[in-house]
Chain A
């Protein structure tokens, strides 16, 4: 907030003032964006502190303390990456893309299972989920390929190239984790929209996607050859009829909805039985929003949503502020990734979206996701800093 005011003053008065924020190295950062990100992390820590006390007997603040550590690492990473000119990543696109695909492959080879799906790598000190970082890597490399090939080939060929580049890792991830692959798909589509792919192409792609989904979820099971495993199918469709209570998927969906609904306007506080008594599963990760909604009611849940809206707006704003088109595309990809995850996760918590293990950025407990999201925000901050640097370069003699 403070830094924003300072920066605007600088731009308008053409003066370079050395403020406190400058000295600690946040000069040029978007203060509102930083505020929203830190605010969400604070909400996460507060909710974990109050809502997950009984999760691990003997260490009531286990999740809170670990999340705080991840957040700290993430904040440092955000600062560091914001100092780097993001345009460098365009030059490294092939390396980034290769790393992205090979890290996903590595999971096939060396992956360890967590919560039903194999999507993590066991590193010293840390269980790392490559797909979380992969979201940012996909944005940076795909945007680079788009710029690189902007003038090559016909529009149709370009569209197909973007699709192929974007959907290759998406398909790989799909075999590991459905939710993350959906985020990859959303990133690809958002970058294509921002890159100026023809509307007719976009409509055609949407049509094909809708058809595929219909075939996978409806036609193939009916034909007796389901592609998805039964529990996957159930998770994806149970939100349509959660009360039919067909098993685990419907159960979770219903408990989350009941938890969120029971919060009412101002929340149930420590009377929040759904999350406290363990009716709500995964209440520190995928269903943390339902905990917020139950404990702090509409007031608390709307505050969290508002912080996400603020974050989304500041990311979107960078599309127009960016010093180059690469920055525009990167901002679009990151904004879409965050928006999509928020919508799917919160929608799932509120019973209007299927259960897909997509974490709520910065809120859900988990090191990979928290650090990766801070890295994304760091890249956005870099776009912001570079845009101001460019402006200053233009205006200050």
Chain B
């Protein structure tokens, strides 16, 4: 065992005691300092630090994701994104005192090479609709020179931010402009009306078309970087970051060849009009367009008042108006199949009943004439469709006046109802009935006269106060073509994620089934086939030489004070159609002159593509 070092006991005791006292004294002093500091910090000046702590703020900077892309059914990109540098102003940084604000605007004007009034006006316009606190975009697509300059001189312009934003681009130009819709910054009204908590000031929302309907899908979710800022707003450091999630993409049912053929044919006519091409059995819309059209990229920049006016100007054909789903026209003779089915169902007539068409008929002391008083002689149902005998249908309309039978069947076919297509802005149109007309007359006597038998007679040939749009007629024809299923037309085939994986496929939806007697259907289909492809048919001159058997009906509707509204509705291939095309041209005159040629172009394109697909890309129709 080791020997303990010998240290004199007395010296150790006294020395140790002193040194313990010294170390203890030092400890006492240090603890004293800590307690005193703690007390002065917390108890004496605590309120000051509490105020400072509550003033400690975080600033969240939202990172907005790119919206999903919109493709057509073959994968052609209709709507994509590009990045753009936007010059933005934080409204909270803009001084409220007039001289300071003038100074700021002047310096901004200097940087942007604009004049003071321009900056002030831009700011006013932007701030008006913006929700409080959202950045004011003075200019997007700022040039690199300006971006670099501002980055280098950030300290001189603390109020100005140059932010990278995503802007929509349209690789296919004008294609499907009415369907795609537009994207815009969220407005104060949007925020107030939305119950989606993820939408914040400064975000972009779909404002029309597909962009609006499928905004939830396309928008994605914003990310956020959280910064700690001091009381002067200077960023101290980054706290957390949440990465943004890009929006999902949509693959539309549109077929580019069909869409382009329709748009080209429509614009070659040069009159306002619309077309719808739809799958008879699934409701998938292959093409839909309205003329005149517009450049969808116009909405990626702030619109000038002149541009905005032009889009809605009636004299220029109101290009923004989607006539395919929002128009309200009388439809003329393309209505006759509905009348025929209603009459057959009621037993008012049989397919073989013959009516002698002398060109005019007197009912309730009033003359009802064929177009040009042309006499068609003895006509049965099939021939009545082939030659489009009005007299035949006047008589049916008169017969069904008291029963509401025509209205019941019209309603079943979707007249007077919206189709439920996945686009905003659809009109229901108007289905005249005794009740509806008389109600409207009570409300506005100048608009409509009370119901008389003539109203039902006019309805039988798609005239009078009937109002419908091409989409409604396409859906009605599809129901006839497929044996009675009223389909919900749809534009979206499937949802895909940013990498192109399919997330969700949309399924065909049958809204209701009409109990159409198959025999009745066959008679009407054959009548429509005759009308399109037999020498006496109304559209024989257009479809007589078409290689695919079709069933189509012309319509020429009186629409005072305007010229006659031309219509054409056609299904192909006859007798078991897969596609229905409905076209209409304002003031297009006789349906076979303007509307039918547009439909022909569309069908040609459709069957051309199909033939190419079958023969591996080399074949053509025939």
Q: Indicate if the CB atoms of A298 and B19 lie closer than 8 Å.
A: no
B5's partner among A294, A325, A352 (CB-CB below 8 A) is A325
Q: Indicate if the CB atoms of A332 and B42 lie closer than 8 Å.
A: no
Q: How far is the CA of A325 from the CA of B4 in the complex (A)?
A: 9
Q: How far is the CA of A274 from the CA of B23 in the complex (A)?
A: 36
Minimal beta-carbon separation of A251 from chain B (angstroms): 6
A258's partner among B4, B23, B35, B52 (CB-CB below 8 A) is B52
Chain A residue contacts of B501, Cβ below 8 A:
none
Q: Indicate if the CB atoms of B42 and A293 lie closer than 8 Å.
A: yes
Among listed A10-18, A129-137, A157-165, A189-197, interface-contacting one: A189-197
For B491-530 the 0/1 string (1 means CB < 8 A from A) is 0000000000000000000000000000000000000000
Closest to A347 in B: B34
Chain B residue contacts of A279, Cβ below 8 A:
53, 56, 228
Q: Would you call A297 an interface residue if the criterion is a C-beta within 8 Å of the partner chain's C-beta atoms?
A: yes
Chain A residue contacts of B54, Cβ below 8 A:
262, 273
Q: Would you call A84 an interface residue if the criterion is a C-beta within 8 Å of the partner chain's C-beta atoms?
A: no
Among listed A96-104, A108-116, A301-309, interface-contacting one: A301-309
Q: How far is the CA of A208 from the CA of B269 in the complex (A)?
A: 101
Minimal beta-carbon separation of B231 from chain A (angstroms): 11
Q: Indicate if the CB atoms of B7 and A316 lie closer than 8 Å.
A: no
A265's partner among B30, B43, B236 (CB-CB below 8 A) is B43
Q: How far is the CA of A64 from the CA of B39 in the complex (A)?
A: 28
Q: Indicate if the CB atoms of A302 and B38 lie closer than 8 Å.
A: yes
Q: Indicate if the CB atoms of B58 and A258 lie closer than 8 Å.
A: no
Q: How far is the CA of A274 from the CA of B58 in the complex (A)?
A: 11
Chain B residue contacts of A193, Cβ below 8 A:
19, 22-23
Closest to B38 in A: A301
Given A298-B38, A346-B34, A350-B37, A325:B48 Cβ within 8 A: no
Query: Which A residues, 339 to 374, have Cβ-Cβ distances below 8 Å to chain B?
Result: 339, 342-343, 346-347, 350-352
Q: Would you call B371 an interface residue if the criterion is a C-beta within 8 Å of the partner chain's C-beta atoms?
A: no
Query: Which A residues, 217 to 271, have Cβ-Cβ distances below 8 Å to chain B?
Result: 245, 248, 251, 255, 257-265, 268
Query: Which B residues, 1 to 28, have Cβ-Cβ distances below 8 Å to chain A?
Result: 2, 4-5, 7, 12, 15-17, 19-20, 22-24, 26-27
Given A347-B34, A350-B34, A320:B239 Cβ within 8 A: no
Q: Would you call A122 an interface residue if the criterion is a C-beta within 8 Å of the partner chain's C-beta atoms?
A: no
Q: Indicate if the CB atoms of B20 and A298 lie closer than 8 Å.
A: no
Q: Would you call B33 an interface residue if the criterion is a C-beta within 8 Å of the partner chain's C-beta atoms?
A: yes
Minimal beta-carbon separation of A187 from chain B (angstroms): 12
Chain B residue contacts of A22, Cβ below 8 A:
none
Q: Indicate if the CB atoms of A262 and B17 lie closer than 8 Å.
A: no
Q: Would you call A151 an interface residue if the criterion is a C-beta within 8 Å of the partner chain's C-beta atoms?
A: yes
Q: Would you call B45 an interface residue if the criterion is a C-beta within 8 Å of the partner chain's C-beta atoms?
A: yes
Q: Indicate if the CB atoms of A312 and B27 lie closer than 8 Å.
A: yes
Q: How far is the CA of A211 from the CA of B50 in the complex (A)?
A: 39
Chain B residue contacts of A194, Cβ below 8 A:
16, 19-20, 23
Q: Indicate if the CB atoms of A339 and B27 lie closer than 8 Å.
A: yes
Q: Indicate if the CB atoms of A320 and B34 lie closer than 8 Å.
A: no
Q: How far is the CA of A336 from the CA of B237 in the complex (A)?
A: 37
A262's partner among B7, B23, B52 (CB-CB below 8 A) is B52
Q: Indicate if the CB atoms of A263 and B46 lie closer than 8 Å.
A: yes
Q: Would you call B41 an interface residue if the criterion is a C-beta within 8 Å of the partner chain's C-beta atoms?
A: yes
A190's partner among B12, B23, B46 (CB-CB below 8 A) is B23
Query: Which A residues, 120 to 176, have Cβ-Cβ distances below 8 Å to chain B?
Result: 147-148, 150-151
Q: How far is the CA of A148 from the CA of B7 in the complex (A)?
A: 12
Q: Indicate if the CB atoms of A147 and B5 lie closer than 8 Å.
A: yes
Given A194-B19, A335-B23, A264:B240 Cβ within 8 A: no
Q: Indicate if the CB atoms of A260 and B23 lie closer than 8 Å.
A: no
Chain B residue contacts of A339, Cβ below 8 A:
26-27, 30
Q: How far is the CA of A23 from the CA of B30 in the complex (A)?
A: 39
Q: Indicate if the CB atoms of B48 and A352 lie closer than 8 Å.
A: no
Closest to A260 in B: B41
For B223-254 the 0/1 string (1 means CB < 8 A from A) is 00000101000001101100000000000000
Given A194-B16, A262-B50, A278-B239, A316:B27 Cβ within 8 A: yes
Q: Indicate if the CB atoms of B58 and A316 lie closer than 8 Å.
A: no
Closest to B11 in A: A196
Q: Would you call B449 an interface residue if the criterion is a C-beta within 8 Å of the partner chain's C-beta atoms?
A: no
Chain A residue contacts of B48, Cβ below 8 A:
261
Interface size class of A (residues with CB under 8 A): 35 or more
Closest to B54 in A: A273
Minimal beta-carbon separation of A156 from chain B (angstroms): 18
Closest to A149 in B: B5
Q: Indicate if the CB atoms of A265 and B42 lie closer than 8 Å.
A: yes
Q: Would you call B118 an interface residue if the criterion is a C-beta within 8 Å of the partner chain's C-beta atoms?
A: no
Given A194-B16, A325-B5, A325-B12, A264:B37 Cβ within 8 A: no
Q: How far is the CA of A25 from the CA of B187 in the complex (A)?
A: 74
Q: Would you call A328 an interface residue if the criterion is a C-beta within 8 Å of the partner chain's C-beta atoms?
A: yes
Q: Indicate if the CB atoms of A273 and B56 lie closer than 8 Å.
A: yes
Given A261-B42, A264-B47, A343-B34, A151:B52 Cβ within 8 A: no
Minimal beta-carbon separation of A22 from chain B (angstroms): 27
Q: Indicate if the CB atoms of B19 and A196 lie closer than 8 Å.
A: yes
Minimal beta-carbon separation of A190 from chain B (angstroms): 6
Q: Indicate if the CB atoms of A316 and B49 lie closer than 8 Å.
A: no
Q: Indicate if the CB atoms of A196 and B240 lie closer than 8 Å.
A: no
Q: Would you call B312 an interface residue if the criterion is a C-beta within 8 Å of the partner chain's C-beta atoms?
A: no
Minimal beta-carbon separation of A380 from chain B (angstroms): 14
Q: Would you call A324 an interface residue if the criterion is a C-beta within 8 Å of the partner chain's C-beta atoms?
A: yes
Q: How far is the CA of A136 from the CA of B261 in the complex (A)?
A: 88
Chain A residue contacts of B228, Cβ below 8 A:
278-279
Minimal beta-carbon separation of A81 from chain B (angstroms): 20
Minimal beta-carbon separation of B460 from chain A (angstroms): 70
Given A257-B49, A263-B46, A293-B42, A277:B37 Cβ within 8 A: no
For A182-220 the 0/1 string (1 means CB < 8 A from B) is 000000001001101000000000000000000000000
For B126-164 the 0/1 string (1 means CB < 8 A from A) is 000000000000000000000000000000000000000
Q: Indicate if the CB atoms of B42 and A278 lie closer than 8 Å.
A: no
Q: Indicate if the CB atoms of B27 and A257 lie closer than 8 Å.
A: no
Q: Indicate if the CB atoms of A319 and B16 lie closer than 8 Å.
A: yes
Q: How far is the CA of A302 from the CA of B34 in the complex (A)?
A: 9
Q: Indicate if the CB atoms of A262 and B53 lie closer than 8 Å.
A: yes
Query: Which A residues, 287 to 332, have Cβ-Cβ distances below 8 Å to chain B?
Result: 293-294, 297-298, 301-302, 305, 308-309, 312-313, 316, 319-320, 324-325, 328, 332
Q: List 8 A-B contacts (CB under 8 A).
A: A248-B237, A258-B53, A261-B46, A262-B49, A297-B42, A298-B43, A339-B26, A339-B27
In the complex, besides A263-B42, A351-B41, 9 extra interface pairs with C-beta distance below 8 angstroms are A245-B230, A258-B52, A261-B52, A261-B53, A264-B42, A301-B38, A309-B31, A332-B23, A339-B26
The 8 residue pairs across chains A and B that have the minimum distance between CB atoms: A261-B49, A264-B46, A262-B53, A262-B50, A298-B42, A262-B49, A343-B30, A319-B20
Q: Chain A residues in contact with chain B, CB under 8 A?
A: 90-91, 147-148, 150-151, 190, 193-194, 196, 245, 248, 251, 255, 257-265, 268, 273-274, 277-279, 293-294, 297-298, 301-302, 305, 308-309, 312-313, 316, 319-320, 324-325, 328, 332, 335-336, 339, 342-343, 346-347, 350-352
